[in-house]
Structures are given as structure tokens and as C-alpha cells.
Amino acid sequence: MNKIFRVIWSHTQQAWVVVSELVKSHTKTSAYTDKRAQVCTSDYFLDKQQDKFKLSLLSLVLLGIFFSPVAVGVDRHKGSPYLQDGAGKSDLGTDDGTIGIGKESKAGYGAIAIGQKSKAEARHNIAIGYDSNAGTGANSITIGYNTKVTGEEGIAIGKQSKAGGRSVVLGGQASAANIEQAVVIGHSATASASQSIAIGARSKSNKEYGIAVGGSATATGKYAVALGWGSKGVGTDSIAIGKSATTAGASSVVVGAHIGVTGQNLVAVGSLASAESHATALGYKASAGGMSSVAVGDNAKTNGSAARATALGNNTVVTVGGGVALGYGSRAETRGGIEGEKQSYSVTTGVSSVDNGFKSTQNVDGNNKIGAVSVGNNLIKRQIVNVAAGKELTDAVNVAQLKSLTLKIAGNTNEQAQPQPAVGLWSGTLKVKGDNGLTSHANGDTITVKLEQDVKNKIDKIDNLGWNLKIAKGAGEANPPNAAHLIKMSDMATVTFTAGNNIKLEQNNGNITISTIGKLIKETKIVDGNLQITLYGWHL
């Protein structure tokens, strides 16, 4: 023997020890000296846990001097492995638990290799199937033609399936080759990154922590989830659930068949739903086209230019930024910044503004547009019910408030009356009544105040009173003669006397004096029935 040591049982230390070959063992233990070369590895003792191996100081010294890191001539094979049909022993060692069946197969400690060229060489490995290979990592399992595991505790089941350490692969040609802690289930399914999951025929999970479940499902984004046939989770942290659902942007969520979105941080739920970045669409064919908009309901829609808009209800549409459409068929198409109607004689003076309540807000925070709220369209008109009474200038007013509106009234005799006289604008009636000969008449938007008829007759009679003025020819001329003219009381503001040729008119305290100009007539008198005029210097 070309050896200078051997292993014997030490009764003193109650352990196996390495000693010089010149030392003889106790006769009761001599039968065990065939294990002398096995001290180079601890595997034997790990497998036979009942053996407690202790090295004395001398043993350690001898090992340090005479042994290289890989011992030459060490016999790793012990016990009676079960090898049939041309099966061989693993280079890593065998024991009583080794089972090998099949030409060119190899099995190791406690391992099982069944099938031609199958290899279960590491501890406790299982390889079943032609050319199956459980690799050099312990506790791995391969089942099927040309299956392979690279790493510890991996499982590959199915024709040509491949698995990395601690990965599970089930399905023909499924693969998580050299990938740690992945799960792959389904024919031709593939996981290409650590802790990724692919379940379903031809499913793929290409980035860390991705999950693809369903035929041809693909999770290519980190932390992405794709559930459903042909679904694709492309963006990081994205979720795509449903047939052919696709998320291309990061942190997006889509649930429903045939959904394809490219924006980020969005949610689209419902078959054929769509949404832009930061938007939310819920419902069949719901479309949140404006950034940060919301569309809820079948065919609910916010246009691409309608950022931050809200459409709630079946077939609702919003076309302006910040607009709101509520209820089936409602359309919100009125932008912000619109001035409300105001009477020209309104008590509110000045320019219409948001502050005085006569103008809607146009935008906030610079350029975030604000639109109107719509509860219908050109054909649908809705009531808004159960509205509380408003308080502020920009609050809604309910019918109760309108009915309670009153107009304060006052007159010559009750301006200081308490409570102040008032009339309701909703159901009240402002009555204008005549008194002392007056009467009122309302027609349309006009109230006419008239005299009672008998009073009017009396006034008309008074109006016709006056004195008749006429001129007579006498001894002179009159034009027209004896024509009387009624001077009414209403016409008597001014009565005018006009002086004729050589006539002088004088008025003093209402007395009128008519005279001629100069001393032409000295005296007039009737003589024998005839007018006699004496002029200065001669008689007529």
C-alpha cells in the first residue's frame, strides 16, 4: 500500500481518528479499516449521521502535512448502490440510497437516475428520462427527454425543459435556464430573469419579478404582470389583464379584452377601453382621451384636448378641458370663462367676474382649463333635485329660495312701518288700488291709474266753464262781428289783448284801459239818437 496512514476507532476518544499505518487498531474495529481513505470528505459522515467524526491534534497535523485539497485515491463510493442496465456511479460518490437504471446513466448519493444517459450526480438528485440531467446542484429534479437543471433545488419536468437553481419548470421545451427562483409552466413557456413567472403555452417573463399567465402572455417590464391570452405587460410596474390587453407605459393598469395603451400611470378597465397618461377609463369602449381625465360608463368619452375632464354615464361626452358630463347622453361642450346674463339695470355694477358670480372660472394653476357641468344635451333636459338652499354668491339656488323672494314696498304713510310691507315675487301680488276718485287698471306689464268716470265728468264740466268773448260792430267795425269765443278755465292762463291803429292799451291790477293815442277825440255823445264826436277844433 502506498499510504502512510489509516483510520481506526479510538475507544478513548469515542471517535474515528487518523493514525500512522504502524499503529494497530483494536481487534473489534479492524473490520472497519477499509474506510480509512474516506476522511478526505465530510459527505460520508453527513450521510451517515450516526457516525460522529472527531480529529485529534495528531490527525489534523497529519492531514495538513500529507493531504492535498483533493485527495488522491479517496474512495467516495460506499454501501451498495442499485445500478442496473449499464448505469454508472457519479464521480461525486454513491451510497446505499443510489439508484441508477439505464445505459450511460449516472447516480450519486441518495440520487435516482432512470433512463439512458440520465444523470443525477449530485446528492439526492432525481433524473428520469433519456438524457435528463439534474446537474451538479443537490436536491434537483428533472423528468423528461433532454431536461436539465443548473443549480440546487431546481425542477424541470417536460421534454427539453430547462431550469436554474430553485426554479420550477413544467412543460415541454419550457425554460428558465440558468435563472434563479423562477416559475415556468406551459409548453415553450420562458422565464428569463430572477424570480419571474411564466404560466401558459408560449408565455414569457423577461424581466425580474415579472408575471405572465396565459397562452402567449408576455411580461417584458420589471415587476410587470400580464394575465390572459396574448396579454402584454411591457411597462415597468404595469398590469395587463385580459385577452390581448397591452400596457406599454410604466405603472399602468388595464383590465379587459383588446385594450392597448401607451401612456403612463393610467387605468383602463373594460373591453376595448382606452386611456391616456394619468387618466382613468372604466366601461366597455370607455375612452379617457384627455390627460388626467376620467371616463366611466359604456362609450363614455373625454376628447384628447379635454384634459382633467370627467364623463360619468353611458354615452357621455366631454369636449372641453375640465368639463363634466353627468348621466346618460350628457355632453359637456361649454368652456370656462363665460360671462353670465346680467340686466343692464342690475344692482350689480361693474365688470362681470368670478368674484361677483357673473363669470365662470376659465383656468386654474396657470393653464389647467375649467369647463361647465352638463346633465343633458340638446335633446335631454334634466332636473336637479334635492338641492339644499345656497348661501354664497356662487351657490346654486333652489325653488324654495325663489318662492321666498319678496319686494319691499313703501308709501307716504308707511315707510317706517314694522314689519316693512313686502310682496312675494313668486306667488304674491302687488295691488295698486285707487282711492278718492282714482281707479287702477292692469294690462300686460302696465298698470294704468285713471279718474273714476263721475269725477272725470265733473272735471270735464269744469274744464268747459269759462266766459265767452265776442266783439260787436256798434258804430265802428268788428271782424268778425258778433263771433263769440269761449275762453275755458284751462285756457285762461293768458288772455292777450292786441292794440290796433292809434289804440292804446293799459293794464293795472287786472283792469284794462283802452284809449286812443293823442288828443284827437275830445267828447262823444248821442244827440237825437245820433253819435256825436267832438274833436279838438271841430265836430263830426
Q: In this predicted structure, what is the pLDDT of residue 47? A: 43
Rounded Cα–Cα distance for residues 308 and 340 (Å): 23
Report the DSSP pairing between strands 521-527 and 511-516.
unpaired
Could you tell me the pTM of the whole model? 0.67
Supply the pLDDT for residue 478.
61
Q: Best-predicted range by mean pLDDT among 33-42, 376-385, 401-410?
A: 376-385
Kindly write down the DSSP assignment for every residue of 300-353, as one continuous string: -EE-TT-TT-EEESTT-EE-STT-EEESTT-EE-PPS-PBPP--TT-S--S---
d(CA 395, CA 389): 8
Percent of the chain whose pLDDT exceeds 70 = 77
Residue-level pLDDT at 303? 96
Return the DSSP state at 37.
Answer: G
Residues carrying CATH 2.150.10.10, the chain: 82-266
Of residues 421 and 146, the one with the higher pLDDT is: 146
Answer whether residue 436 shows pLDDT above 70.
Answer: yes
CA distance 304 to 146: 54
432: Cβ contacts below 8 Å, ≥ 6 apart: 440, 442, 447, 449
How high is the pLDDT of residue 279?
98
Report the distance separating Cα 284 and Cα 422, nearest Å: 57
CB 322 within 8 A of CB 335: no
Q: Whose CA is closest to 140, among 160, 96, 117, 110?
A: 110
Per-residue pLDDT, averaged over 424-431, amounts to 80
Structure-model confidence comparison of residues 360 and 41, the more confident one: 360
Of residues 445 and 361, more confidently modeled: 361
Q: Are 122 and 138 in contact (CB under 8 A)?
A: yes
Q: Alpha-carbon distance 220 to 205, whole Å?
A: 6
pLDDT confidence of residue 15: 54
- As a whole number of Å, the end-to-end CA separation of the chain is 206
Cα–Cα distance list, 298 to 75, 284, 380 (Å): 76, 5, 18
Mean pLDDT calculated for residue range 18-25:
56
Q: What is the pLDDT of residues 116-175, one digit of tens each?
A: 999 999 999 999 999 999 999 999 999 999 999 999 999 999 999 999 999 999 999 999
Beta strands per DSSP E along 121-176: 126-128, 141-143, 148-150, 155-157, 162-164, 168-170, 175-176
What pLDDT sits at residue 66? 39
- pLDDT tens profile 196-208: 999 999 999 999 9
Q: Answer whether residue 227 shows pLDDT above 90.
A: yes
Predicted pLDDT at 491: 57
pLDDT band at 512 (very low <50, low <70, confident <90, very high): confident
**What pLDDT shows up at residue 272?**
96
> C-alpha distances in angstroms, 7 versus 63, 215, 224?
12, 61, 59
DSSP SS3 for 410: coil
Q: 440-469 as b/e, with b when 16 or more CB fall inside 10 Å?
A: eeeeeeeeeeeeeeeeeeeeeeeeeeeeee
What integer pLDDT is reported at residue 428 of this predicted model?
81
Q: What is the pLDDT of residue 16?
A: 54
The CATH architecture of the domain made up of 82-266 is 2 Solenoid (2.150)
Q: Inform me whether the pLDDT recorded for 24 exceeds 80.
A: no
Residue 192 is predicted with a pLDDT of: 98
Region of poorest pLDDT, from 289-293, 376-380, 445-449, 514-518: 514-518
Q: How far apart are CA 96 and CA 99, in angstroms?
A: 8
The predicted pLDDT at position 344 comes to 80
* Angle ∠(155,159,160) on CA atoms, nearest 5: 75
More confident of the two residues 512 and 447: 447
Residue 273: pLDDT over 50: yes
Name which of 139-148, 285-294, 400-409, 509-518 the model is least confident about.
509-518
> pLDDT-derived band of residue 95, with 50, 70 and 90 as boundaries?
very high
Residue 474, pLDDT score: 61
Which of the four pLDDT bands, split at 50, 70 and 90, describes residue 185? very high
The whole-angstrom separation of Cα 152 and Cα 150 is 7
Q: Please, are residues 348 and 356 in contact by the beta-carbon 8 Å criterion? A: yes
C-alpha atoms less than 13 angstroms from C-alpha of 32 in its C-beta half-sphere = 16
- On the question of pLDDT at 365 being above 60, the answer is yes
Residue 54 has pLDDT above 90, yes or no: no
> Poorest-confidence range of 174-178, 253-257, 362-366, 420-424?
420-424
Sign of CA pseudo-dihedral 226, 230, 235, 239: negative
pLDDT at 496: 75
Considering only 102-111, 155-164, 224-233, 528-537, which range has the smallest mean pLDDT?
A: 528-537
Q: How confident is the model at residue 294 (pLDDT cuts 50, 70, 90)?
A: very high
Confidence class for position 29, pLDDT limits 50, 70, 90: very low
Whole-number average pLDDT of the chain? 82
Kindly state the average pLDDT of the residues 209-218.
98
Q: How confident is the model at residue 51, as a pLDDT?
A: 41
How far is the C-alpha of 483 from the C-alpha of 336, rounded, in Å? Answer: 80
- Total H helices, total E strands in the chain: 4, 51
Q: What average pLDDT does range 74-80 have in this prediction?
A: 73
Q: Which residue has the higher pLDDT, 342 or 487?
A: 342
pLDDT at 446: 87
pLDDT of res. 28: 44
- Pairwise CA distance, residues 110 & 327, whole Å: 71
Q: Is the pLDDT of residue 1 over 80?
A: no
Mean pLDDT of 323-339: 95
Note the pLDDT of residue 10.
Answer: 62
What is the Cα–Cα distance from 305 to 318, expressed in whole angstroms? 10
Q: How confident is the model at residue 46 (pLDDT cuts 50, 70, 90)?
A: very low
User: For residue 517, what pLDDT is reported?
Assistant: 72
Q: Using the predicted structure, report yes or no on whether residue 469 has a pLDDT greater than 80.
A: no
Q: Which helix (H) or strand (E) holds 514?
A: strand 511-516
Read off the pLDDT band of 465 (50, 70, 90).
confident
* C-alpha cell recorded at residue 533: 264826436
Place of cell 393598469: 253
Average pLDDT of span 74-98: 89
Is CATH 3.40.50 what the domain over 267-341+351-384 is classified as, yes or no? no
